[in-house]
Amino acid sequence: MIEDNLLGFYESGKGDQFTQGVDPATGKLLFGKFKNAISSEVDEALKRSAEAFEIYRKKSANEKAKFLYTIADQIEEIGETLIERCCAESGLASARITGERGRTTSQLRMFADLIEDGSWVEATIERADADRSPIPKPDIRRILTPMGPVVIFAASNFPLAFSTAGGDTASALAGGNTVIVKAHSAHPGTSALVGEAINKAAIKCNMPDGVFSLLHGSGKDVGQRLIKDKRVKAAGFTGSEKAGRILYDLANQREEPIPFFAEMGSVNPVLVLPSALNSDTAEMLSSSITLGSGQFCTNPGLILSIAGNALEDFIGELSQRLSRIDPQVMLTEKICKSYNDMKSLSSANQHLKNETESIDTAQKNYATPVLLSIEGKDFLNNLNLSNEVFGPYSIIVKCKDKDQLNEILANLKGQLTGTVFGASQDFEDFTQLIDQLEKRVGRLIFNGVPTGVEVCASMQHGGPYPASSDSRFTSVGTMAIKRFVRPIAFQSWPDEQLPHELQDSNPLNIWRLIDGKWTKD
């Protein structure tokens, strides 16, 4: 396992500060002291990335696809060493990490398939018309093109799928960009293993030195330095609203502002209509709230329904189910402390009622689930309760009627998801509420839970601020590639000098929009 920073193919550990992995279940330090990057190493990584971009952006789609396929193969070749290290650093179960490794390699291969097909570039051709009156029409052809070096900030809660070789890195590389990853301090060993695998793949596939770099260190020192550098052309982030907003502001305060795609806070409101106040809904929600100790960005942290006996019975059943779930380890001591602090603040709020039985645990960094309830009027007087709490935590709001429920929905911030539990007839009876929810979210779910994000072409994982910094884009699925490319048009350009995707003969045999019609001709 390489403990130095990866500056392209060069290993460097000049600094005297280091990051060390910790087993959150025991608090024990793990082997490996991963050197935090100093300013000269950050600069060298940027230099190599910028130089490599000039070569990598001109690689063919097949060459880039082969690179992504090979990264997936190299990650799988690490075998159980990766699973064991990732479990040790995250406290997550082997089955979860094995599944996440599968998602990570599948994402890489999904993007490889996408760029091999080639149609994703949205090649658009408007042919010249010299006879058009009053002025001739020029030949104009448009395509999506890579942007340059991209910085990716690894996430804490997905040490593989949203980390070093996760969806952000895969989509940026697929788009033809070079990538610098700022490793997350919670899983430095996992990051090092995967970073080494990426560079092995790069060497095998004859990719330029600097196509990928991995830097250890703090977000304040390494991360902010990267964002401020003029050679960086875009960035991707998954984490807290506070950290995301700091980086987003820095990206926009530069002399040349850059796109900063941040996925941040979300409580994923769940609208439980009267017809769905039953055992099945309670079972689904209890499992979703506590999945992975509640450490998912799609955790259902806010449940909304109309007050009455049926809701009180539902709250009783949901709380009993949650109280029977054993405490689970959280990702880091810091995350667990933050969760427990929020629980204490909630207990001090006279309007919040704790519906779950108190389960004491002497185990360090373990979290117990909490279900709180509050009257709708009191919730409206304290909308800060709609802020995300990272952990197995959810609030049920008991609304007086439809009007109050609609008012609450209208005052919510942007969310990744919104869920409706109900029956078909409810779409007529509660149309206004569902329409209100739709305006606040990136994904609407019917009679299902928000946790479990399918990786596919139609997935939208992003929503109005602060769920994400730009609701027009997704961080999951094939369309995630659109974040790290920009359109460019060629006017009256010689055919032989055009990108292959735009040449008359269509040598890549891709779908193109020619004079308003999709064709492969």
How far apart CA 115 and CA 440 sit, in angstroms, is 32
Residues contacting residue 442 through CB under 8 Å, at least 6 positions apart: 415, 416, 417, 460, 461, 462, 463, 464, 467, 468, 471, 474
Q: Where are the domains of the chain?
A: 5-14+29-118+148-264+472-484, 270-446
What backbone phi and psi angles, to 5 degrees, belong to 474?
-120, 150
CA distances from 287 to 343, 351, 418 (A): 20, 26, 17
Superfamily of domain 5-14+29-118+148-264+472-484 in the CATH hierarchy: Aldehyde Dehydrogenase; Chain A, domain 1 (3.40.605.10)
Name the band, by pLDDT with cuts 50, 70 and 90, for residue 180.
very high
Q: Which two tokens stand for residue 401?
A: 């009627």
90 pLDDT more than 70: yes
How far apart CA 203 and CA 206 sit, in angstroms, is 5
Q: Model confidence over 8-65: pLDDT tens digits?
A: 999 999 999 999 999 999 999 999 999 999 999 999 999 999 999 999 999 999 999 9
262 pLDDT more than 70: yes
Q: Which fold has domain 270-446?
A: Aldehyde Dehydrogenase; Chain A, domain 2 (3.40.309)
- CA 99 to chain CA centroid, nearest Å: 17
Pairing mode, if any, of strands 34-35 and 18-19? antiparallel
Q: Give me the catalytic one of 86, 87, 205, 297.
A: 297
Q: What is the pLDDT of residue 359?
A: 62
Name the band, by pLDDT with cuts 50, 70 and 90, for residue 395.
very high
Closest CA to 111 of 154, 69, 147: 69
Name the band, by pLDDT with cuts 50, 70 and 90, for residue 242.
very high
Does the annotation count 263 as an active-site position?
yes
265 pLDDT more than 90: no
Q: What is the pLDDT of residue 285?
A: 98
Q: Which two tokens stand for residue 367?
A: 């979290």
361 pLDDT more than 80: no
Residue range 343-368: mean pLDDT, rounded: 81
442 pLDDT more than 90: yes
Helices marked H in 254-401: 279-290, 309-323, 333-347, 376-380
Name the band, by pLDDT with cuts 50, 70 and 90, for residue 346.
confident
How far apart CA 150 and CA 259 sit, in angstroms, is 10
280 pLDDT more than 70: yes
Pairing mode, if any, of strands 270-272 and 415-421? parallel
Q: What is the pLDDT of residue 362?
A: 61
What's the whole-number average pLDDT of the chain? Answer: 96
217 pLDDT more than 70: yes
Residue with tokens 């999945």: 291
Q: H/E element holding 65?
A: helix 61-78
Does the annotation count 100 as an active-site position?
no
Name the band, by pLDDT with cuts 50, 70 and 90, for residue 347.
confident
pTM passes above 0.85: yes
How far apart CA 197 and CA 161 sit, in angstroms, is 15
| CB 231 within 8 Å of CB 50 | yes
End-to-end CA distance of the chain: 50
Q: Which two tokens stand for residue 60?
A: 């063919």
Residues contacting residue 449 through CB under 8 Å, at least 6 positions apart: 284, 285, 287, 288, 300, 419
Closest CA to 139 of 517, 515, 510, 512: 515
CA distances from 262 to 175, 234, 237, 296 (A): 18, 11, 5, 15
Q: What is the pLDDT of residue 360?
A: 61
Residue range 258-266: mean pLDDT, rounded: 95
Residues contacting residue 103 through CB under 8 Å, at least 6 positions apart: 160, 161, 455
Q: What is the pLDDT of residue 364?
A: 83
Residue 214: beta bridge partners?
A: 6, 181
345 pLDDT more than 90: no
Residue range 482-489: mean pLDDT, rounded: 98
How far apart CA 236 and CA 172 sit, in angstroms, is 9
Name the band, by pLDDT with cuts 50, 70 and 90, for residue 192.
very high
Q: Give me the catalytic one of 263, 355, 388, 501.
A: 263
Q: Which two tokens stand for residue 214?
A: 């991995």
Residue with tokens 């055009």: 498
CA distances from 182 to 108, 214, 237, 257, 291 (A): 19, 6, 10, 20, 27
Please tell me whether the peptide bond between 392 and the residue prior to it is cis, using omega within 30 degrees of 0.
no
How far apart CA 24 and CA 90 sit, in angstroms, is 7
Q: What sign does the dihedral 129-135-141-142 (CA atoms) show?
A: negative
Q: Which two tokens stand for residue 16?
A: 């005297």
The letter for the amino acid at 393 is Y
431 pLDDT more than 90: yes
